[in-house]
């Protein structure tokens, strides 16, 4: 429920602008405590349960009959990377989540008349964060490993396996695809970064122009914040290129296994084509790419 309804736009600007500022101040006040709670909560759980994760993961891997000995050997070599990287990933995501939630939650609750204007939403944000941490504990301690135990118990007539030479080839294709994707897409991203930011500003301003004056005034503080964050959003788009390159590398290995080595080598260029095509369509509103579509080659 909103706190007030009025057609006095000057009053609306002062009132909702003031409420937004109050919400932002509350977000700043609880940012560090929520950040500490989030880091110690989520990352602490990941570290505490790491021995548990290692034991159950290797147990399931070695006892399952779904995959053969060669793949088990490969997974035994690669699993430490995933297990060590898991707490690091949790730390990164918990920081991002706490930053967003510590601001968003009190701001939203400040606009809600069910919460007290000055301090409402602060205590509730901590309680909600505590609830999410408990959910994370429950998922990591019980639910996730129940899925792994199902894999351990599953019986198949013939396990899936790949010979050692094929595994080496697929690993090469995966690394090749990821490296080529990153090397090619990074300069493309650099070239298109400024046009991308300009396009984001254009879309944002066009969207703002279509809003009613009442809506614009109500959420003006958020529009200002988003306007300032657009360059950061543009820069963060490099993550899309990196993730897509890594995914393309995996797909190279799959294509090489399913078809042939040459198909695996060519596959990554199809993903580069996709990124170039999609970015040109979004930024320039033109459906073209400088690269050939090699996906079906």
Q: Please give the chain's pLDDT, 297 residues, in tens.
A: 444 445 544 445 455 556 667 777 777 788 888 888 888 999 999 899 888 888 888 888 888 888 888 888 877 877 887 788 888 888 888 888 888 887 777 777 766 666 676 676 777 888 888 898 999 888 887 766 677 777 777 777 777 777 888 888 888 999 999 999 999 999 999 999 999 999 999 999 998 888 777 666 666 767 777 788 888 888 888 888 888 888 888 889 888 888 888 888 898 898 899 999 999 999 998 888 888 877 666
Tokens of 91: 């730390």
Rounded CA gap, 103 and 219, in Å?
15
Contact yes or no for 130/222 (Cβ under 8 A) = no
Whole-model pTM: value is: 0.67
Q: Which of 36, 35, 32, 45 is nearest to 135 (CA)?
A: 45
Rounded CA gap, 197 and 232, in Å?
9
Q: Which of 268, 262, 276 is nearest to 245 (CA)?
A: 268
Q: Which of 30, 27, 9 is nearest to 110 (CA)?
A: 27
Q: Which of 86, 91, 291 is nearest to 185 (CA)?
A: 291
User: What are the residues whose beta carbons fall under 8 Å from the beta carbon of 189, sequence distance 6 or more?
Assistant: 237, 238, 241
* pLDDT score for 297: 63
Tokens of 174: 């995966």
């Amino acid at each position: 429920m909103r706190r007030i309804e009025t057609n006095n736009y000057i009053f609306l600007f002062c009132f909702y602008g003031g409420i937004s500022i109050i919400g932002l101040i509350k977000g700043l006040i609880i940012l560090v405590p929520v950040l500490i709670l989030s880091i110690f909560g989520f990352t602490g759980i990941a570290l505490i349960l790491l021995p548990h994760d290692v034991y159950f993961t290797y147990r399931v891997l070695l006892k399952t009959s779904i995959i053969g000995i060669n793949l088990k050997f490969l997974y035994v070599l690669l699993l430490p990377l995933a297990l060590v990287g898991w707490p690091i990933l949790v730390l990164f995501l918990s920081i991002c989540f706490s930053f967003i939630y510590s601001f968003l939650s009190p701001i939203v609750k400040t606009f809600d008349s069910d919460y007290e204007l000055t301090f409402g939403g602060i205590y509730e944000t901590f309680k909600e964060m505590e609830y999410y941490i408990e959910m994370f504990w429950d998922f990591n301690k019980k639910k996730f490993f129940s899925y792994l135990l199902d894999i351990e118990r599953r019986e198949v007539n013939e396990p899936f396996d790949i010979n050692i030479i094929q595994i080496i080839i697929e690993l090469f294709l995966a690394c090749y695809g990821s490296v080529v994707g990153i090397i090619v897409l990074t300069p493309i991203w650099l070239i298109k970064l400024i046009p991308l930011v300009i396009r984001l500003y254009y879309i944002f301003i066009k969207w703002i122009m279509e809003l009613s004056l009442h809506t614009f005034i109500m959420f003006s503080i958020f529009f200002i914040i988003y306007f300032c964050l657009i360059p950061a959003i543009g820069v963060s788009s490099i993550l899309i290129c990196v993730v897509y390159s890594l995914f393309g590398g995996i797909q190279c290995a799959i294509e090489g296994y399913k078809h042939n080595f040459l198909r695996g080598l060519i596959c990554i260029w199809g993903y580069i084509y996709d990124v170039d095509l999609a970015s040109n369509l979004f930024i320039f509103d033109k459906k073209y790419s400088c690269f050939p579509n090699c996906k079906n080659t």
